[in-house]
Structure 1
């Protein structure tokens, strides 16, 4: 069994570079942490390498490279000691018919993007379209927040204007989440069989050009605050529009 004891090991130094977006983009690879993420990556057939801290092991049928704690920590962004690090390759998304999608307009926080992925996958949405200025899906914080859903849910970085227009030509109705005077309450809208939900930037919301393209604007009715965290809003919209038609 291979054992790596030095943080200056050539392979470890190369893998540590995957903590940077530039290297992830160049190689098409990224790092994951934790037993749950490892198992989800293996199930999705995207796991390429597995590094395990000495004294631990995972009960999975996959080669495990044993490392000292300092070596594992070099590949981790956790503040506490990590145990399992995986190297994965980015999966190729499939072109398939979609009925329910989310469109993210410049959502900046990696935790928000990751949580939205987890929500969309949990409620059976088919795909997420992200504007090119959204947080990086393969950022370690985003990956951790997805809890493995990014391995199973199709997504793409796109020009949202073009994508919305293409979806509308396929008879998909697009709803923009906005606190606008002409928006309708969530409880009052009629949800079609195929639809997309646009969610905007944490600070300024959806760009006007994107809002103008939406077929309908919708807001979540509240008693106190006017707005919610974008990931929380996404969860409410995803659930209500998926199940409470």
Structure 2
């Protein structure tokens, strides 16, 4: 049984670097923590290694590396004392169909991106495209907000303008969420497969050059507030479009 007590251990120091985006990009690895996220990683065959707090039971098939609380905390992005940390490989998910795609334009908050990925998985989105200035999907806050959806839905950072043009050539109708006329009320939209939904930056919305090439703008009908949190708006739109007839 391997046991690591010191936070200065070479292996621990190397894996602690995975809390930084540049190291995640370089290595193709990332960290997850907590029982649920470990289970999702196992289901996706992405779990490579686990660090377990001394005294805890191992519920995986991997041989754990037992650690002191100080060592676990060094690998953790959360303030509370974690009990298990997993080192994962980035999933490579290529769906057989692209009936419904989501396109994210400059969404900055990791929590929003994670919640959007969770909703996308829940409502049957086949793929998520993110502009290159979106929050990192492997940011610890994104991962926790996604509740493991990152292991089950394909994603790609891309040039959204070119991607939308390509999708349109493939007869995909692209809907944009917008507060500016002309738009159609969400309840009045009856989409046909395949289609895509574009969501924009929390403060600025969708960039004008992207908005200009979308096939239709849609707006959620509201009684009071003019706009919603982007992750909330995403869930409402995906649910409504999925069940439109």
Change over 3 Å in CA distance of 1:214–1:33 after alignment to 2: same
Query: Which position in structure 1 is the counterpart of 2:120?
Result: 120
CA distance in 2, matches of 1:21, 1:63: 27
The residue aligned with 2:64 is: 64
Instruction: Give the corresponding residue for 1:157.
Output: 157
Task: Give yes or no for the alignment of 1:46 onto 2:46.
Answer: yes
Residues 59-103 of structure 1: per-residue CA shift (max 9 Å, x gap): 222221110000000000111100110000112232643000100
1-structure distance, mates of 2:189, 2:179? 15
Q: Residues 93-117 of structure 1, C-alpha deviation per residue, up to 9 Å, x if partnerless?
A: 3264300010000000000000000
Matching of residue 104 in structure 1 with residue 104 in structure 2:
yes
Q: Distance in 2 between matches of 1:93 and 1:158?
A: 16
Report Cα offsets for 1:21-61 as digits up to 9, x if no partner. Answer: 11111111010010100010011011111001011123222
Q: Secondary structure at the match of 1:240?
A: helix
Computed over aligned residues only, the root mean square deviation of the Cα atoms, in angstroms, reads 0.9
Which residue of structure 1 lines up, in the alignment, with residue 18 of structure 2?
18
Deviation at 1:208, TM superposition (A): 0.4
User: Is the contact made by 2:100 and 2:125 (CA closer than 8 Å) also made in structure 1?
Assistant: yes
**Whole-angstrom distance in 1 between the partners of 2:205 and 2:12:** 41
Alignment gaps of 5+ in structure 2: none
Counterpart position of 2:196: 196
- 1:214 is matched with which residue? 214
**Which runs of at least 4 in structure 1 moved beyond 4 Å after TM superposition?**
none
Residue in 2 aligned with 1:31? 31
| 1:189 shift after superposition | 1.4
Deviation at 1:188, TM superposition (A): 1.0
SS at match of 1:17: helix
Most deviating of 227-236 and 55-64: 55-64
Alpha-carbon deviation of 1:194?
1.3
**What is the total number of aligned residue pairs between the two structures?**
245
CA distance in 2, matches of 1:80, 1:190: 46
What secondary structure is seen at the aligned counterpart in 1 of 2:138? coil
Q: Are the equivalent residues in 2 in contact too, given 1:35–1:58 (CA < 8 A)?
A: no
Q: Secondary structure at the match of 2:77?
A: coil
- Matched-pair contact (CA < 8 Å) for 2:56–2:83: yes
Moved more, 230-239 or 188-197: 188-197
What is aligned with 1:233? 233
**SS of residue matched to 2:198:** strand
Preserved CA contact (<8 Å) 1:106 1:134: yes
Q: TM-score, with normalisation over the residues of structure 1?
A: 0.98
Q: Which has the larger displacement, 80-89 or 57-66?
A: 57-66
Alignment correspondent of 1:147: 147
